[in-house]
A and B are shown apart, each in its own frame.
Chain A
Amino acid sequence: MVSRRDILRFAGAAAMASGIPGLTLARADSDARFVLVILRGAADGLAIAAPYGDGNYREIRGELALPGPGDSGGLNKLDGLFGLHPSLPNIYEQYREDQALIVHAVASPYRERSHFDGQDILENGAAQVGSLRDGWLNRALEPLGGALGDEVAIAMAQNTPLVLRGDNSVTSWAPSQLPDAEESTLRRLQDLYASDEFFATRLTQALDAQAIADGEAGMGQMRSRGNDAEQLRTLMHAAARFLTAEDGPQIAVLEASGWDTHANQGTTTGSLANRLGGLDNGLLTLQRGLGDAWAKTIVAVVTEFGRTVAVNGTRGTDHGTASAAILLGGAVAGGRVVTDWPGLRGADLYQGRDLQPTTDMRSVFKAVLAEHLDVPETHLESVVFPDSKSAPPMRDIVRS
């Protein structure tokens, strides 16, 4: 039987002759997988990995300080200084197996406190606001086959986040409840779009993703309903399917919002704890779905900036600067907290209120790209992260 995918591919071949990019799906020559999870809204790094061993922690965090390791329901001990939030049991399990790493006091080069500019800088990889229109991860795709029109990366969303936008071909996918359009309609649309690159490229990308989804039992029935945690789990499940599919992408990007905890953020229970639980659960779903591929995977969980060290007037925290990032997966040299800890005394804080950044987020990304995905360092320096000499790739975080 001729599958729908074959039909479309045939139609695509005709289009390729007319110079439309994005029609082949050969995978780059690597088993390495990379998943980027962006926590939008500025997740509180001091709650994710709390510095319980810092003598100033309890006083300055006040009622938001988490109970220490050993206390009932308290932090899970990472080392003598840090403990992991108790709502992250799966990540902790990975940590104990040396497959999870926390990078603390980390921040992008952005030093103001707008979510939206902060996310732009996190995603476009620029040294300052407004200088780049495409995303660092898209620019990194070029040596991975992206320049040939391969869809090496997928956004698990209807629309592509900035980090993946750019010249290199990527695709996106999210669950649907609408009935499929007929094949002949799709084919006619391919013809109609042939002279309009914007539409032609996107339809081809969507059809490629759709073909993988169709080939995977159960994905057609996926629903986007449910609360945030359920939706994240659905997307993690689908991401694992894409990343393990033959001809599938090597890189996936997911987003989770709702981390802007200005009021009543809670401690071991409450709104932030629930959200962390949903994240932990989603990551477990991803890990299980990847199966053997987990051994060659790095997941990076990052956010645009951190939150104030002190509690604000409404039992929450306001916009801050440095936060924590989580790396996990079989390819991570984990079981450690990597940080040049700046301390929490008043004089240690950035502008007297925020955790002082001591590690540049770009150093983390560069290490993953260079050592895990084999992106050449010259390409990293000149194209992916311009003006980033001050942020050399972090060493020894990828398992060799």
Chain B
Amino acid sequence: MKYDSAIAANRFGLGAKPGELKRIHSNPRAWLLDQLQGPSRLSGDLKDLPGTAEVLVEIQDLRRKQREMRDAAMDQPAPDIVQKYAQKVREHYLAQTDARYRYAVASDVPFHERLVHFWSNHFAVSADKQPMPAVAGLYENEAVRPNVTGNFTDLLFACEQHPVMITYLDNQRSIGPESTLGRRANRVQRERNIGLNENLAREILELHTLGVDGGYTQQDVTTFAKVITGWSIGGAGDTGRFAEGTPGEFEFRDSIHEPGDHTILGTRYSQRGVAQGEAVLRDLALHPSTAKFLASKLATHFIADEPPVDLIDELAATYLESGAELAPVYEALVSADAAWTKSHSKYKSPHDFVISTLRAFDHVPDNTRFIVGALDLMGQAPFRPGSPAGWPDSAEHWGGADALYKRIEWSNTVSRLVGARVSPVELGDEVLGPTFSAESRKAVSHAESNVQGMTLLLASPDFQRR
């Protein structure tokens, strides 16, 4: 068995399924690069999920009913409506996590799927703010999944103009002070200051494109916030004022858009309407700071917590030369010597760890509720990084003592539930190949039971590192 097969499946994929190492043995690099064509078919679960617009409309209706009941002289909304709302949101969340984890465990294009999860985390929304739990998985499928091997500009557009991102970072509420509606409102209501919300503009610059050291100022943030006023959602208003547009879909509202030319990072933008913000996004995508930031994040995710500087430079240069095309960057990554080093320095995140344990057993769970619970206990609840920065990507962060204990408990639990069918040593050879160390092999082979052997295998350093 080639050492590189184990690296391809574990470092770049989601952890080997039984048989996977043999399948990719002839050419591990080609196996990875072929996946950049994308999945030939999506699972039924993923395809059957409803669209974001549909879910947002449904949820908005429930909220409206809540409000109507409250307004109809009752102080509290009827409890069954509140309950129904919570239940609906939870149903959607679980359907989406089911689809996500079932697909990841079963996937035959695990490198492609890793990229989906990577970018979904780069453009993170977090399910700790309503109604994110009901739509975070849909956002991943609609905005991220179709664009991970294309041009970054398209991915950027798809994410920043997706109704879920707009809502998550409050942009539908941001109103240009000099826009038609802003002026009128501020004339009428002197008390209430109607105007900008910087949230989306700041995070686009800091987290999605240039990076925090990318060379922008507070002035750039404020100006960019003005430029993207009006990037909103159809049917967003409760009062009918913002009723125009297709409910639940991206809608540009000229009435709240700050008019005029604006200068960001020294470039003057004189476009009108939505085109102005789009022009800024296009320039941001091609900015050298963005190239460096994205290159550094990719290298950190796949190669090492502190990846070699020349690797980052090479990826950034490839990105700029290709005009923000992503496939050539992945090719450069997979072709780099640093990608195939035998020092396994990356400690899997809980998300990657849990997926890889289930793949090792080739067990696609019917219901992923127990995965959601376990990931929560390990500190990585699905779609809930807690902030727009997404999950961190280092052993320093994931290496908590308690989190390791929870991984051991998980290894034990999952081994009990599904792991009793094969010999643990054989399974170790099957999924770790030449990276299964003599020490781990010995410990596993001396286990007092099958379940214990499986637990030792999954909790071994060999399995938890990649």
Q: Which of A178-186, A285-293, A332-340, A392-400 contacts B (4 or more CB under 8 A)?
A: A178-186
Residues on B with beta carbons closer than 8 Å to the beta carbon of A316: 170, 197
Q: Does B15 contact A (CB under 8 A)?
A: no
Q: Which of B171-179, B230-238, B263-271, B292-300 contacts A (4 or more CB under 8 A)?
A: B171-179
Contacts known (A185-B455, A257-B386, A313-B175); A160 close to B377, Cβ less than 8 A: no
Residues on B with beta carbons closer than 8 Å to the beta carbon of A178: 374, 377, 406, 409-410, 412-413
Residues on A with beta carbons closer than 8 Å to the beta carbon of B196: 312-313
- Quick one: which of A37-54 are within 8 Å of B by CB? 40-41
Report Cα–Cα, A216/B227, bound state, in Å. Answer: 57
CB B223 to nearest CB in A, in angstroms, measures 14
Contacts known (A160-B401, A182-B412, A185-B452); A192 close to B443, Cβ less than 8 A: yes
Q: Does B241 contact A (CB under 8 A)?
A: no
Report Cα–Cα, A206/B400, bound state, in Å. Answer: 9
State whether B443 touches A191 (Cβ < 8 A): yes
Q: Does A87 contact B (CB under 8 A)?
A: no
Q: Does B461 contact A (CB under 8 A)?
A: yes
Report Cα–Cα, A185/B199, bound state, in Å. Answer: 48
Residues on A with beta carbons closer than 8 Å to the beta carbon of B193: 62-63, 310-313
State whether A117 touches B402 (Cβ < 8 A): no
Contacts known (A188-B456, A316-B197); A172 close to B402, Cβ less than 8 A: yes
Contacts known (A185-B456, A311-B193); A172 close to B373, Cβ less than 8 A: no
Find A176's partner among B174, B397, B409 (CB 8 Å cutoff).
B409
Task: Bits for A148-168, please: 1 = Cβ < 8 Å to B, else 0.
Answer: 000000010111101001000
Q: Which of A77-85, A196-204, A376-384 contacts B (4 or more CB under 8 A)?
A: A196-204
State whether A312 touches B202 (Cβ < 8 A): no
**Chain A: how many interface residues by the 8 Å CB criterion?**
69
Contacts known (A113-B218, A114-B206); A318 close to B452, Cβ less than 8 A: no
CB B456 to nearest CB in A, in angstroms, measures 6
Q: Does B118 contact A (CB under 8 A)?
A: no
- Quick one: which of A319-370 are within 8 Å of B by CB? 319, 351
Q: Does B106 contact A (CB under 8 A)?
A: no
Report Cα–Cα, A257/B409, bound state, in Å. Answer: 26
> How many A-B pairs with Cβ below 8 Å?
187
State whether B376 touches A224 (Cβ < 8 A): yes
Closest A residue by C-beta to B459:
A189
Residues on A with beta carbons closer than 8 Å to the beta carbon of B396: 133, 162, 165
Report Cα–Cα, A256/B132, bound state, in Å. Answer: 19
State whether A263 touches B173 (Cβ < 8 A): yes
Q: Does A5 contact B (CB under 8 A)?
A: no
Q: Does B448 contact A (CB under 8 A)?
A: yes
Closest B residue by C-beta to A200:
B461
Closest A residue by C-beta to B373:
A177
Q: Does B460 contact A (CB under 8 A)?
A: yes
Q: Does A9 contact B (CB under 8 A)?
A: no
State whether B389 touches A199 (Cβ < 8 A): no
Closest B residue by C-beta to A308:
B198
Q: Does A210 contact B (CB under 8 A)?
A: yes
Find B461's partner among A175, A196, A224, A260 (CB 8 Å cutoff).
A196
Residues on A with beta carbons closer than 8 Å to the beta carbon of B403: 158-159, 172
Q: Does A205 contact B (CB under 8 A)?
A: yes
Indicate the member of B177, B376, B405 with the most A CB atoms within 10 Å.
B405
Report Cα–Cα, A206/B192, bound state, in Å. Answer: 52
State whether B398 touches A189 (Cβ < 8 A): no
Report Cα–Cα, A173/B401, bound state, in Å. Answer: 8
Task: Bits for B351-389, please: 1 = Cβ < 8 Å to A, else 0.
Answer: 000000000000000000000011011110000001101
Residues on B with beta carbons closer than 8 Å to the beta carbon of A177: 373, 377
Closest B residue by C-beta to A311:
B193
Residues on A with beta carbons closer than 8 Å to the beta carbon of B182: 313
- Quick one: which of B417-466 are within 8 Å of A by CB? 439-440, 443, 446-448, 452, 455-456, 459-461, 464
CB A278 to nearest CB in B, in angstroms, measures 13
CB B63 to nearest CB in A, in angstroms, measures 14
State whether B401 touches A172 (Cβ < 8 A): yes
Residues on A with beta carbons closer than 8 Å to the beta carbon of B277: none
CB B102 to nearest CB in A, in angstroms, measures 21
Contacts known (A192-B460, A198-B395, A258-B128); A174 close to B402, Cβ less than 8 A: yes
Contacts known (A159-B398, A193-B461, A257-B387); A188 close to B452, Cβ less than 8 A: yes
Residues on B with beta carbons closer than 8 Å to the beta carbon of A175: 377
State whether B386 touches A157 (Cβ < 8 A): no
- Quick one: which of A211-260 are within 8 Å of B by CB? 224, 228, 257-258, 260
Closest A residue by C-beta to B256:
A313
Q: Does A99 contact B (CB under 8 A)?
A: no
Closest B residue by C-beta to A263:
B170
Closest B residue by C-beta to A156:
B402
Q: Does A116 contact B (CB under 8 A)?
A: yes
Residues on A with beta carbons closer than 8 Å to the beta carbon of B447: 188
State whether A195 touches B191 (Cβ < 8 A): no
Q: Does B212 contact A (CB under 8 A)?
A: yes
Q: Does B137 contact A (CB under 8 A)?
A: no
State whether B404 touches A179 (Cβ < 8 A): no
- Quick one: which of A92-126 are within 8 Å of B by CB? 112-117
Contacts known (A116-B212, A176-B406); A202 close to B401, Cβ less than 8 A: yes
CB A180 to nearest CB in B, in angstroms, measures 7
Task: Bits for B160-195, please: 1 = Cβ < 8 Å to A, else 0.
Answer: 000000000110011101000010000000011111
Report Cα–Cα, A175/B376, bound state, in Å. Answer: 10
State whether A158 touches B402 (Cβ < 8 A): yes
Q: Does B408 contact A (CB under 8 A)?
A: yes
State whether B398 touches A312 (Cβ < 8 A): no
Q: Does A303 contact B (CB under 8 A)?
A: no
State whether A209 touches B198 (Cβ < 8 A): no
Q: Does B399 contact A (CB under 8 A)?
A: yes
Report Cα–Cα, A193/B401, bound state, in Å. Answer: 13
State whether A172 touches B456 (Cβ < 8 A): no
Q: Does A262 contact B (CB under 8 A)?
A: yes
CB B259 to nearest CB in A, in angstroms, measures 16
List 6 A-B pairs, Cβ < 8 Å: A63-B192, A178-B409, A189-B408, A198-B461, A201-B401, A313-B193
Please list the 4 inter-chain residue pairs (A to B) with the smallest Cβ-Cβ separation, ordered nearest first. Answer: A313-B195, A159-B400, A158-B379, A205-B401
| Residues of chain A having any CB pair with chain B under 8 Å | 40-41, 62-63, 112-117, 129, 133, 155, 157-160, 162, 165, 170-182, 184-186, 188-189, 191-193, 195-196, 198-199, 201-203, 205-207, 209-210, 224, 228, 257-258, 260, 262-263, 310-316, 318-319, 351
Given known contacts A202-B400, A313-B196, what 18 new A-B pairs fall within 8 Å (CB)? A116-B206, A117-B212, A129-B213, A165-B396, A176-B409, A179-B412, A185-B452, A188-B446, A188-B456, A191-B443, A203-B405, A205-B401, A206-B401, A209-B402, A260-B387, A313-B193, A313-B194, A351-B218
